[in-house]
Amino acid sequence: MLFDSIAYGPIHSRRLGTSLGMEIMPLDHKLCTFNCVYCECGWNSPVLHPVLPTREEVKTALETKLQEIVNGQCLDVITFSGNGEPTLHPDFAGIIEDTCALRDRYCPSAKVSVLSNSTQLGRPDVVAALRRCDNRILKLDAATDTMMRRIDLPVNEGLTVARIMEWLAQFDGDFTLQTCFLRGEHDGQPIDNTTPAELEAWYRTVEKLRPKQIMIYVIDRKTPEEHLEKISREEMERIAAPLRAKGFDIQISA
């Protein structure tokens, strides 16, 4: 499932409401620093010179869409996600600057949101741009290196949970933590971030980072790895319960 337009929708997001989607990765293949086993966009494509929408193309597409919809629809959010990791775009900071300006002009009540896999948070320009956004929705699918690597298949095989936590800590809790819970296997290796040991590690990580909100969700569409299991709503409620008891704001999409 790939998005073939720079600006698409509005669509109803199960997590964000009425969302105008923004695609700043290639429009014909996935480009990401992760190769998640559950990603609805499929596996990364080995393209040597990917073509990205330019900053000006993104600005024009967004303004055109906002002019079309601002008088006819209620828009909750402008969301950057799509065919890979949006913070990989070399003009990401400039694109966010343009987006905030256009939002203020046409639809000031809409939030600017970015769904990111957290791998570019070592770049000061990316962190500064994310601070301008209303919603920084940052991924951490597992709190142990082994499970994170089995689920997310990072391109940088040396990436660690400790490093991701260090980067996330820059926001002093002013972000939304996003985690997908699932079970299954990939290449003969078991995948399960719902075991007692994995959950205990995840709970400890959440308590250290203290995000203002937590989004936990399950696989919802066809996945590139076929041997995955969707977690039930009841189990997701049980996963959330210990943190809710400690006052954490947790949203469940299941």
pLDDT tens figures, 35-76: 999 998 888 877 767 899 999 999 999 999 999 887 666 789
> CATH: 3.20.20.70, 3.30.565.10, 3.55.40.20, 1.20.1250.20. Which one for 7-253?
3.20.20.70
Per residue in 158-173, pLDDT tens?
Answer: 999 999 999 999 999 9
pLDDT in tens, 131-147: 999 999 999 999 999 99
For the chain, the domains span 7-253
Q: Say if residue 93's pLDDT is above 90.
A: yes
* Tokens standing for residue 5: 């337009």
* Mean pLDDT calculated for residue range 189-217: 98
| Res. 1: pLDDT tops 70 | no
Contact status, residue 114 vs residue 136, Cβ threshold 8 Å: yes
Helices 196-209 and 233-244: angle between axes, nearest 10 degrees = 40
Exposure string for 117-131, b = 16+ CB within 10 A, e = fewer: bbbbbeeeebbebbe
As a whole-number percent, the residues of the chain with pLDDT over 90 amount to 78
pTM for this structure? 0.92
Query: What are the pLDDT digits (tens) for 103-132?
Result: 999 989 999 999 999 999 999 999 999 999
For residue 149, is pLDDT > 90? yes
Cα separations in angstroms, 221 against 39, 118, 187, 228: 9, 22, 20, 11
Tokens encoding 32: 């990401």
68: its two tokens:
């079309």
Band of the pLDDT at 221, cuts 50, 70, 90? confident
